[in-house]
A and B are shown apart, each in its own frame.
Chain A
């Protein structure tokens, strides 16, 4: 009975224990809440510094490069930090290999960073006509008429194509579904793409990004991407 009275007057041992626990918990919460934003800020500062360093590295190079700016929602063709053409991104997706719906999560490879020497797959048809000089002894009326090469707009562009880089990154470029060919041709094309994708996904450990562009932008990129273009991926 006496102990009960003492507890009541001084807060007692159980009351002190509760108070201590509350102080410790409050201190822990304070530390935890205070440190998390600081770490985030530190991470984002480091990421921004790293992204700027990569941009500087690419700007100093004499090679063309594609800069995929996920935070900006745009992909730019650049040379020496000058944007030559901008392709607004309708979508940007990271591919993780999977087999029969089972994701091989451990095989996903981060794509952020610099990727050297890209080439288009299927390759762009190269039109190399040979000029036939006229016979110097022939009369003027038989001189060959100059036939200019076909316009670039006549070059057919696959609905879906890839830009493959030497280190293994694949940029799969595609357009919204409504632009795709319909009917049997479309189904055959989709099946062919799917089989190629399966083969690629299961073959080797490679970073894979899928970029969705407006059809006109996808065509422009296919027709005018300079050879051996590098790639810089700035992840969010």
Chain B
């Protein structure tokens, strides 16, 4: 850029840098101006004010919400001898709810089955639970949701080599007509070696599809692999508690 040619009478601004031009000898003296242009003088307080407001607002938000106070964790539980008679009675009533024999706990979301005796885990197995899928029978305007029920159950019946009496949904799912003869509903060999019935059509049983264990693929029953089913069968009886969550 050529700054030397001519005799400019006005200041020249080059990329925000002010260069004072040398006035001609005959021209009146130029009044000295501030190095900061007027626009920048206005901007600076604005920027500072905005920044201040931002900081105050940020601090305000940061200091709002909840102030958390830690609650003490741990401590010595009261010993049984330190309890008075009423407390001992309450504790005994509470302990009556907990099964004294082995019981089954099923985590249906994670497809895990445990056999427990008190706090001890005797068996930890991968199982399969309900898929949560929906089947509609458009002809009869019915539908089924294949969820494993949650709650507290008991084994009501145990059978060896159970035979499956196929319900209506099994035929609808296969796209087959529902048989009129009840004898056409029975199918052997698909439920494994043992079936432990716990009500409302639900069982713990074996499977032909062990590769799908650990996935939620059933129609609501709980499937176990062959070895786990055998171990469970040897440890439970009619009346054993089942907790499914």
Contact = CB atoms under 8 A, between A and B. Distances in A.
B65 to A, nearest CB: 4
Contacts of B60: 99-100
B133 A130 contact: yes
Contact of B64 (A59, A127, A135, A198): A198
A128 B95 CA distance: 39
Contacts of B66: 95-98, 197, 201, 208, 210
Interface stretch (A7-15, A48-56, A177-185): A48-56
Contacts of B150: 64, 226
Interface string B83-126: 11011001101110111000101011111000000010000000
A27 interface: no
A92 B216 CA distance: 34
Contact of B69 (A62, A84, A94, A136): A94
Interface residues of A, number: 67
A128 B105 contact: no
Interface stretch (B15-23, B35-43, B169-177): B169-177
B122 to A, nearest CB: 15
Contacts of B91: 52
A133 B72 contact: no
Given A45-B84, A56-B93, A134-B175, A95 B134 contact: no
B110 A201 contact: no
Interface string A75-90: 0010111111100010
Contacts of A152: 109-111, 216
A120 B50 CA distance: 39
Interface stretch (B2-10, B74-82, B158-166, B232-240): B74-82
A190 to B, nearest CB: 11
Nearest to A143: B175
B31 interface: no
B135 interface: yes
Given A94-B71, A148-B215, A64 B245 contact: yes
Given A49-B90, A224-B110, A226-B245, A89 B73 contact: yes
A56 B64 contact: no
Contact of A194 (B61, B108, B177): B61
Contacts of B214: 151
A197 B90 contact: no
A84 B105 contact: yes
Given A100-B60, A201-B66, A129 B152 contact: no
A101 B56 CA distance: 12
Contacts of B217: 146, 148-149
| Chain B interface category by residue count | 35 or more
Given A59-B97, A95-B68, A136-B175, A223 B110 contact: yes
A96 B69 contact: yes
B65 A80 contact: no
A210 B68 contact: yes
Contacts of A102: 63
A91 B150 CA distance: 29
A89 B214 CA distance: 28
B99 A82 contact: yes
A176 interface: no
B83 A133 contact: no
A81 B97 contact: yes
B135 A133 contact: yes
B202 interface: no
A98 B67 contact: yes
B133 A149 contact: yes
10 contacts: A64-B245, A70-B71, A71-B74, A80-B152, A92-B70, A128-B133, A130-B133, A133-B173, A152-B109, A224-B107
Interface of A: 45, 48-49, 52-53, 55-56, 59-60, 62, 64, 70-73, 77, 79-85, 89, 91-103, 126-131, 133-136, 146, 148-149, 151-152, 194-195, 197-198, 200-202, 208, 210, 220, 223-224, 226, 235-236
Given A62-B151, A100-B64, A210-B66, 13 more contacts: A45-B87, A52-B94, A62-B152, A70-B72, A79-B245, A85-B107, A85-B245, A95-B67, A98-B63, A99-B63, A133-B173, A152-B111, A194-B65
